[in-house]
């Protein structure tokens, strides 16, 4: 029971002190979440209240199922962009079909996460390599920021890739609305300054650093208040400034996602991508925060909690949610001790939904766009490109491909090509494993690469050490290498495969070894193995190879050479053996 309901674990030791810490954190996160939830609904192309709905039920559900003590779930930038991309192809913004498709997307990705959780398929998220995720998030951040420009300029434009957006914005730039641009520039500028300057100012006023840090995070709320008041007071909405307008007040009502198989098939791929990418973001934040307090996060339980939260979001009229990075860090820094803080945040949002929505009538969309731009710029990490380039060109290739394809063709194509490329490059790398022809270091029992060391070898013996597990991508490599060696050097009578670095031999490599054994036999050469690891040997015993082997299996390479060649036959060789 406790595995599936972590709430049973932490609620037993819930004290008055924990309560007050959770309440403080909840208050701060609520203030941060109100503008964010509206902004991300806007980004997803949905009515503003959908953002609020997605910030109530999912938070309560996560409090019950979540294993992280400080994770704050809700609408986030990248998932909102992916929602817009997936739903935008199916229906026009503002239609009931558009909203229905967004709800179905949350429902389906929730079901997928639940299924993955029960089947313990959390490892699937690992197939997204870090460079691919990092590249994807950087590219998403750029697209999101570009998509906000239409709100900042007050023009009509659209598109899901950077290319489409650029074209569309250029075509409509003459429609620019100057009061809107003023609000957009003010908000963006103010929030940029607030990220660092506000804290510095508050510190000068004598506030405690921690409090100043938290108050500085309320910049967006200040921007919302200022620009809403200005719009109301100056009647800017009559001068073309687009405002959020009427938000229906009242709590969300239970909703069923559209039961339309055709629709579900169409959104299956984006739902899976949202599920996996949302999960990766969630588990990264959750385990980072848990490790700081030496707590644990259960990766499979997080799948279940995030899945249930998304199903809950869909059934209360919301859209896909995940664990947000900056919000969770604020929650953690503000002292949240248990997932109950999330439930209290949900209560805060519910109160806002019930009573404060009329106050948001005059909130300009340009303000929300400015909020989003400043938030997503922290997602863009171009330094990662440089770091990855320095460390590994193949990882850099996967990262660059993800960024370019995402910018050029949209989020789904970007993720899929990044994942495919990183798997391909991995298989390519292991298909040409490092190997060394080895000889004996004179006077010792050690064997080393003949290209790097002064060693002794017997001309009749060809000892090759492969520094990689043997499996299908490199099975033929092994055959080619050994056949080439014996074709070039007719003196060879023994081939020894030195295997201390081989962690695994699959059925393909086994067949290659059997073929090598047979071919060498036909050519009058014996095949031997040495230094085979225990588990590898256990498995080989289940095959016919050991029985059919023309040579022997030696415990050490020294045993092998001692038996196969008398000392007198050895001679010094360094880099002479052709391979």
Tell me which residues in 148-177 interact with a second copy (CB under 8 A): none
Beta pairing partners, 197: none
Report the residue from 176, 523, 555, 572 that binds a second copy according to the rule CB under 8 A.
523
Structure tokens, 539: 């498995």
- Closest CB to a second copy among residues 480, 567: 480
Tell me which residues in 432-461 interact with a second copy (CB under 8 A): 432-434
228 touches 363 (CB < 8 A)? yes
Tell me which residues in 375-434 interact with a second copy (CB under 8 A): 387-388, 390-392, 394-396, 399, 422-423, 426-429, 431-434
Report the residue from 333, 506, 552, 559 that binds a second copy according to the rule CB under 8 A.
506
- Closest CB to a second copy among residues 166, 550: 550
Tell me which residues in 255-294 interact with a second copy (CB under 8 A): 283, 287-288, 290-294
- Closest CB to a second copy among residues 373, 419: 419
Burial label for 12, CB within 10 Å (0-12, 13-18, 19+), is exposed
- Closest CB to a second copy among residues 321, 505: 505
- Closest CB to a second copy among residues 385, 413: 385
80 touches 319 (CB < 8 A)? yes
CA 531, chain centre distance (Å): 39
List, in sequence order, the alpha helices (H) in 119-251. 130-153, 162-172, 178-193, 199-204, 209-216, 219-234
Q: Give the span between the Cα atoms of 315 and 296, in whole angstroms.
A: 30
Check residue 477 for interaction with a second copy (CB under 8 A).
yes
Please tell me the chain's helix, strand, coil percentages from 3-state DSSP, rounded to the nearest 5. 65, 5, 30
Tell me which residues in 291-350 interact with a second copy (CB under 8 A): 291-297, 299
Tell me which residues in 196-235 interact with a second copy (CB under 8 A): none
State the angle between helix axes of 411-431 and 261-292 in degrees (0 to 180), rounded to the nearest 10.
70
Q: Kindly state the number of chain residues that form the binding site for a second copy, as judged by CB under 8 A.
A: 76
Q: How far is CA 117 from CA 100, 110, 302, 311, in A?
A: 25, 10, 8, 14
Check residue 486 for interaction with a second copy (CB under 8 A).
yes
Provide, rounded to whole angstroms, the least separation between the CB of residue 578 and a second copy. 12
Q: Give the span between the Cα atoms of 367 and 237, in whole angstroms.
A: 13
- Closest CB to a second copy among residues 205, 578: 578
Question: Which range, of 104-112, 372-380, 503-511, 561-569, touches a second copy by CB under 8 A?
Answer: 503-511
Check residue 471 for interaction with a second copy (CB under 8 A).
yes
Provide, rounded to whole angstroms, the least separation between the CB of residue 489 and a second copy. 10
Tell me which residues in 114-143 interact with a second copy (CB under 8 A): 123, 125-131
Provide, rounded to whole angstroms, the least separation between the CB of residue 336 and a second copy. 17
- Closest CB to a second copy among residues 228, 422: 422
Structure tokens, 146: 């570009």
Burial 113-150 (b: 16+ CB within 10 A, else e): bbebbeeeebeebeebbebbbbbbbbbbbbbbbbbbbb
- Closest CB to a second copy among residues 362, 471: 471
């Amino acid at each position: 029971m406790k595995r599936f309901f972590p709430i049973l674990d932490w609620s037993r030791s819930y004290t008055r002190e924990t309560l007050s810490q959770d309440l403080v954190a909840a208050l701060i996160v609520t203030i941060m979440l109100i503008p964010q939830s509206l902004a991300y609904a806007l980004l997803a192309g949905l009515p503003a209240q959908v953002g609020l709905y997605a910030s109530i039920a999912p938070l309560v559900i996560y409090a019950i199922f979540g294993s992280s003590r400080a994770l704050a779930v809700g609408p986030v930038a990248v998932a909102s962009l992916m929602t817009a991309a997936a739903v935008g192809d199916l229906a026009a913004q503002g239609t009931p079909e558009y909203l229905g498709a967004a709800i179905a997307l949350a429902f389906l990705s929730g079901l997928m996460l639940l299924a993955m959780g029960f089947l313990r398929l959390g490892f699937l998220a690992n197939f997204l390599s870090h460079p691919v995720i990092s590249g994807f998030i950087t590219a998403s951040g750029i697209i999101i920021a570009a998509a906000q420009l239409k709100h900042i300029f007050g023009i009509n434009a659209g598109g899901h890739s950077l290319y489409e957006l650029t074209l569309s914005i250029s075509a409509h730039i003459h429609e620019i609305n100057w009061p809107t641009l003023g609000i957009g520039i003010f908000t963006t500028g103010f929030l940029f300054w607030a990220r660092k300057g506000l804290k510095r100012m508050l510190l000068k006023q004598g506030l405690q650093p921690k409090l100043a840090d938290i108050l500085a995070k309320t910049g967006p709320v200040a921007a919302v208040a200022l620009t809403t008041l200005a719009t109301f007071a100056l009647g800017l909405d009559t001068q073309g400034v687009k405002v959020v307008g009427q938000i229906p007040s009242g709590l969300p009502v239970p909703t069923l996602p559209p039961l339309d198989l055709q629709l579900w098939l169409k959104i299956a791929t984006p739902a899976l991508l949202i599920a996996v990418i949302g999960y990766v973001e969630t588990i990264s934040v959750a385990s980072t925060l848990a490790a700081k307090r030496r707590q644990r996060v259960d990766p499979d339980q997080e799948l279940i909690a995030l899945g249930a939260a998304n199903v809950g979001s869909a059934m209360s009229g919301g859209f896909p949610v995940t664990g947000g990075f900056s919000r969770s860090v604020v929650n953690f820094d503000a002292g949240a001790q248990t997932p109950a803080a999330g439930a209290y945040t949900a209560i805060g949002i519910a109160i806002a939904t019930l009573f404060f929505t009329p106050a948001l009538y005059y909130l300009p969309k340009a303000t929300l766009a400015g909020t989003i731009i400043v938030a997503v710029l922290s997602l863009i990490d171009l330094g990662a490109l440089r770091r990855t380039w320095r460390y590994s060109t193949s990882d850099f290739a996967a990262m660059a491909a993800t960024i370019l394809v995402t910018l050029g063709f949209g989020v789904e194509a970007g993720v899929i090509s990044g994942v495919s490329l990183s798997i391909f490059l991995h298989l390519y790398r292991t298909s040409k494993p490092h190997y060394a022809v080895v000889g004996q270091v004179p006077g010792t029992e050690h064997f080393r690469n003949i290209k790097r060391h002064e060693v002794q070898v017997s001309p009749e013996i060809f000892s090759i050490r492969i520094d990689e597990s043997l499996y299908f991508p490199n099975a033929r490599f092994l055959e080619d290498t050994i056949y080439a060696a014996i074709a070039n050097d007719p003196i060879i009578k023994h081939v020894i495969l030195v295997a201390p670095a081989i962690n695994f031999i699959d059925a393909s490599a086994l067949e290659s070894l059997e073929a090598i054994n047979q071919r060498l036999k036909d050519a009058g050469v014996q095949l031997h193995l040495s230094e085979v690891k225990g588990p590898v040997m256990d498995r080989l015993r289940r095959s016919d190879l050991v029985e059919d082997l023309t040579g022997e299996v030696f415990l050490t390479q020294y045993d092998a050479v001692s038996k196969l060649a008398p000392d007198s036959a050895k001679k010094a060789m360094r880099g002479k053996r052709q391979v």
